[in-house]
C-alpha cells in the first residue's frame, strides 16, 4: 500500500512532470519526484494502470486518416478534459486529505506536546522518586550500619556479661575459699591460742610455785645469813672485847670463819638460785610476751582476712550492680 497519501493521480502527475522535462519516467525517477515516498511496487502498479489507459497513440498520426485523426483528437481532448476533471477532483480530494492530515498532524503535535509535558512531569516525578530512593537507600544503609553496631554492641554486652558471670563465679569461689580458709584459720588460731594459754597458765603456775619455793628458801637463807651476820658481829664484838683472849679464841674464830664461809657459800648459792630464778622468770615472761605477740599477730591476720573478705564481698556487690 502507498505511504504518505501516494495515489494514482500523484504518480501520473510525477510521470507527466518527468516527461515534460524530457526525463525517462522510471520507477526510481517517479519515486524521487514524489519525495522518496511510496513503495516501488505501488508506483509500478500505478504506472501500469496509467499506461493501460494512456490515450496517446503509439503510432504516428501521419499514417492515420484525417477523420480518424480528428476523431482521435476529439477523443484525446475529451480524455484530457475528463482527465483534467478527474485530476481536479483528485487534487480537491488531495487538498482535503492534506487539510485533514494537517489537522491530524496538529492534533498529533498537540498530543505530542501533551505527551512531552507528561513525560517531563514523569521525568520530574521519576527524578524526585530517584532522590527519595537515594535518601531511602542512604537511610537504609544508615539503619543497617546502626543495626550492625547495635548487634555488635549486643554481642559485646553478651561477652561482657559472660565475662562478668565468670568473674562472679571466680569471686564466689574465692569468697568460699576465703571463708573456708578464714574459718579454718580461726579454728586453728583458737585451738593454738587455747593451747598456748593453757600451756602459759600451766607454766606461769609452775613458775609461781617455783618462785614461791625459791622465795621461801631465799627468806630462810636470808634469815640464816642475817643470823650468821648477827652472830659474826656479836663474835667480832666479843673478839674485840676479848682481844686479850684472841689467842685462846683463835680456834673458835677459825671455826666461826669456817661457818661463815659455809654461810657465804650458801648465800652465794642463794644468790645464784635467785639469779637463775630471775632468768627463768625473764624467759617465761619472754615466752608469755611471744605468746601474746603471736596472739596479736593472729588477730592482725584475722583482721586482714576479714578486710579481704569485705573487699571480695564489695567486689561481688559491684559486679552485681554493674551487671
* DSSP letter assigned to residue 243: G
Cell of 4: 504518505
Cell of 85: 476533471
Task: Report d(CA 130, CA 123) in Å as an integer.
Answer: 10
**Cell numbers that stand for 40 in this block:** 516501488
Mapped onto helix, strand or coil, the DSSP state of residue 169 is helix
DSSP 1: -
Reduced to 3 states, what is the DSSP secondary structure of residue 101? helix
Closest-CA residue to 34 (of 1, 52, 8, 56): 8
Cα 220 to Cα 178, 226, 230: the distances in Å are 60, 10, 15
Alpha helices in the chain (DSSP H): 8-20, 27-33, 40-52, 66-241, 246-322
The Cα 194–Cα 295 span in angstroms is 10
Q: What is the full per-residue pLDDT of the chain (323 aa) written as tens digits? A: 334 568 889 999 999 999 998 889 899 999 999 998 888 999 999 999 888 776 554 444 444 456 676 776 677 777 777 766 777 777 787 788 788 788 887 888 888 888 788 888 888 888 898 888 888 888 888 988 887 888 788 788 788 878 888 887 887 888 788 778 778 877 877 888 788 778 878 886 887 887 688 688 878 877 876 887 787 688 777 767 777 776 777 787 677 778 778 878 877 887 887 788 788 878 888 887 887 888 788 889 888 888 988 888 888 888 777 65
pTM above 0.75, yes or no: no
Amino acid at each position: 500500500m502507498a505511504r504518505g497519501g501516494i495515489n494514482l493521480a500523484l504518480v501520473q502527475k510525477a510521470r507527466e512532470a518527468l516527461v515534460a522535462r524530457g526525463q525517462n519516467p522510471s520507477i526510481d525517477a517517479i519515486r524521487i519526484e514524489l519525495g522518496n515516498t511510496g513503495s516501488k511496487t505501488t508506483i509500478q502498479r500505478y504506472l501500469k494502470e496509467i499506461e493501460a489507459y494512456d490515450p496517446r497513440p503509439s503510432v504516428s498520426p501521419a499514417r492515420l486518416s484525417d477523420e480518424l485523426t480528428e476523431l482521435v483528437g476529439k477523443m484525446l481532448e475529451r480524455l484530457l478534459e475528463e482527465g483534467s476533471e478527474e485530476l481536479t477532483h483528485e487534487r480537491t480530494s488531495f487538498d482535503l486529505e492534506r487539510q485533514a492530515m494537517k489537522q491530524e498532524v496538529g492534533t498529533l503535535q498537540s498530543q505530542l506536546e501533551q505527551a512531552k509535558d507528561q513525560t517531563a512531569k514523569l521525568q520530574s516525578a521519576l527524578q524526585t522518586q530517584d532522590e527519595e530512593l537515594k535518601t531511602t537507600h542512604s537511610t537504609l544503609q544508615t539503619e543497617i550500619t546502626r543495626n550492625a553496631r547495635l548487634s555488635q554492641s549486643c554481642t559485646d554486652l553478651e561477652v561482657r556479661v559472660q565475662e562478668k558471670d565468670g568473674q562472679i563465679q571466680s569471686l564466689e569461689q574465692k569468697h568460699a575459699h576465703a571463708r573456708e580458709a578464714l574459718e579454718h584459720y580461726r579454728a586453728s588460731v583458737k585451738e593454738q591460742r587455747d593451747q598456748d594459754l593453757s600451756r602459759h597458765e600451766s607454766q606461769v603456775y609452775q613458775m609461781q610455785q617455783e618462785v614461791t619455793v625459791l622465795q621461801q628458801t631465799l627468806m630462810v637463807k636470808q634469815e640464816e645469813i642475817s643470823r650468821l651476820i648477827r652472830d659474826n658481829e656479836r663474835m667480832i664484838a666479843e673478839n674485840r672485847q676479848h682481844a686479850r683472849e684472841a689467842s685462846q679464841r683463835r680456834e673458835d674464830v677459825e671455826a666461826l670463819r669456817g661457818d661463815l664461809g659455809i654461810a657465804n657459800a650458801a648465800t652465794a648459792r642463794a644468790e645464784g638460785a635467785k639469779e637463775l630464778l630471775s632468768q627463768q622468770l625473764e624467759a617465761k615472761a619472754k615466752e608469755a610476751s611471744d605468746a601474746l605477740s603471736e596472739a596479736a599477730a593472729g588477730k592482725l591476720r584475722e583482721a586482714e582476712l576479714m578486710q579481704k573478705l569485705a573487699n571480695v564481698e564489695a567486689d561481688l556487690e559491684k559486679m552485681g550492680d554493674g551487671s
